[in-house]
Amino acid sequence: MFGQRKNKTFTYKSRFDKDKDSASQLKESMKSSWNEARPSVSGRKKSNTLFLLIGLLVFIAILMYYLDTKIK
């Protein structure tokens, strides 16, 4: 019914930003190089976790079967 108000954005740059530009460019380049390296690491990490969880599930199923036959 009523539209949400947008947050105000400010594009103020102080006169001292010239000194910070080189530092911010370095920071941005480090971020971009880190983000380029991340996808290869994250995919490998997910697959290891998946195998661990499937192995744990199989172990629990075998343990439940063993305990069920032992109790009866």
* pLDDT per position as a tens digit, 27-49: 778 777 777 776 665 556 667 88
Q: Dig out the tokens for 49 from the structure.
A: 């976790």
The angle at the Cα of 31, spanning 29 to 35, to the nearest 5 degrees, equals 120
Q: What is the CA radius of gyration of the chain?
A: 27
Please state the domain count of the chain.
1
Does 2 reside within a domain? Answer: no
Does 5 reside within a domain? Answer: no
Tell me the pLDDT band of 12, cut-offs 50, 70 and 90: confident
Does 7 reside within a domain? Answer: no
Cα–Cα distance for residue pair 58/11, rounded to 1 Å: 56
pTM over 0.75: no
